[in-house]
Amino acid sequence: MALDHQAATAAAPTVASQADKGWRVLVLAGRWTTDALSEQGVALTEAAEQAGERVRLDIAGVEALDSAGAWLVCRTLDELDRRSAKVELVGGDAEQRSLIETMGHYRPGKAPEPTSESALTGLLVRTGKATYEAGAEARDLISFLGYAVVVFGRTILNPRRLRVVAMVSHMEQAGLNAMPIVGLLSFLIGVVLAYQGADQLARFGAQIFTVNLVAIGVLREMGIILTAIIVAGRSGSAFTAQIGTMKVNEEIDAMRTIGLDPMDVLVMPRVFALVLVMPLLTFYADIMGIFGGAVMALFVLDISFERFINQMRDAVPLWSFWVGIIKAPIFAFIIALVGCFEGLKVSRSAESVGLRTTTSVVVSIFIVIVLDAIFSIFFSVIGI
């Protein structure tokens, strides 16, 4: 029993302070493990505080070292380093040094020094970062556009690849279910155009030209723009959220595992559905917008429906109607493409779904308005 007690005492952790040619040597010995470090942590800290500017930590006599002992050594080294002391770690086998190095990776580092950049520099940095990110996003979107065009053409040449049931379901969600909101907003836009136009044209005694203003404005621009914005905010965001949720749940990875192409299963049915229903929604928006203008003209200008239609037929060329309809499938393709693209870029978090959904709506509306401006200039140049 006495021998066991002496062995246990010999194995207890100890720390001794020695002087050696200008160095203060802290000699660690015994078992530096969790069950034996009750008091030696304080002793090591006190010895480090009393050491000078050149300290050597000698662990050659350490018989056993676990994570608690290694952390204590790391803490001592950090404290000496904060005092700008010159520190050396000597002794110890490869395993002990590896454990100390590993624990050193998990200890808190120095706090970063505050930056002193000016407001102008910060603005330039944020602008450059935003520009770079926008360029990368545009590059990825153009790449996805090329891939989608290839798959779109492949589906046209081989219609059996198209999932008709899924396409019809998306046509119902994006087209039929959108008719109430599209019709209501188009009707109100027609009312606003007629009221504002009549108010201004009354100064010149030309109230009858309110019909021209409403018809041309709705047929060429307002009908298709309003429909595209509603579809982008309603259906484009839904595409992103649906595909993004599938990405979070790893359903898209499962599709690829069993040999299904997400472009054929998820993207193409949505693209075809929106391309088919967008012209119909635009036509419906045109009718409701003109009807709203006609109702306002009847009550404010006392212009009957028959006179309204006759004036519109004489003043508005047929091309004004086709200008809006031609834009519809192109805008639909862009909205569906951006919605699916952002959905496929969702990372594995719910926060990413919301972020990508917002980005989808913003990017879709931005591209639609830019394309509409280009179309307006083009049709004006060619005289339509």
Q: What is the pLDDT of residue 47?
A: 66
In SS3 terms, the chain reads as CHHHHHHHHHHCCEEEEEEECCEEEEEEEEEECHHHCCCHHHHHHHHHHHCCCEEEEEEEEEEEECHHHHHHHHHHHHHHHHCCCEEEEECCCHHHHHHHHHHHHHCCCCCCCCCCCCHHHHHHHHHHHHHHHHHHHHHHHHHHHHHHHHHHHHHHHCHHHCCHHHHHHHHHHHCHHHHHHHHHHHHHHHHHHHHHHHHHHHHHCCHHHHHHHHHHHHHHHHHHHHHHHHHHHHHHHHHHHHHHHHHHCCHHHHHHHCCCCHHHHHHHHHHHHHHHHHHHHHHHHHHHHHHHHHHHHHHHHCCCHHHHHHHHHHHCCHHHHHHHHHHHHHHHHHHHHHHHHHHHCCCCCHHHHHHHHHHHHHHHHHHHHHHHHHHHHHHHHCCC
Domain spans of the chain, in order of start: 10-106, 162-381
Contact residues for 179 (Cβ-Cβ < 8 A; gap 6+): 281, 284
Q: What is the pLDDT of residue 3?
A: 39
Find the helix or strand (DSSP H, E) in which 368 lies.
helix 350-381
What does the alpha-carbon distance between residue 172 and residue 176 come to, in Å, rounded to a whole number?
A: 5
Residue 108 DSSP one-character state: -
- Chain centroid offset of residue 41 CA: 49
Instruction: Determine the residue type at 126.
Output: R
Residue pLDDT tens, the chain, 384 long: 443 444 444 467 777 777 777 677 777 777 777 766 666 666 666 666 666 667 777 777 777 777 777 777 777 777 777 766 677 777 777 777 777 777 766 655 555 555 666 778 888 888 998 899 888 888 988 998 898 889 888 888 888 888 889 999 999 999 999 999 999 999 999 999 988 888 888 788 788 888 888 888 899 889 999 999 999 999 999 999 999 998 888 888 888 889 888 888 899 999 999 999 999 999 999 999 999 999 998 888 888 888 888 888 888 888 888 998 999 999 999 999 999 999 988 887 788 888 899 999 999 999 999 999 999 899 888 887
Q: H/E/C letters for each residue in 220-255?
A: HHHHHHHHHHHHHHHHHHHHHHHHHHHHHCCHHHHH
Instruction: Specify the pLDDT at position 38.
Output: 61
Please enumerate in sequence order all residues whose Cβ is within 8 A of that of 115, keeping only pairs 6 or more positions apart, or say none: none
Q: What is the pLDDT of residue 134?
A: 86
Q: In this structure, which amino acid lies at residue 311?
A: Q
Q: Round to whole Å and give the CA distance between 175 and 277.
A: 5
C-alpha–C-alpha distance, residues 308 and 290, integer Å: 10
CATH code 3.30.750.24 for 10-106: yes
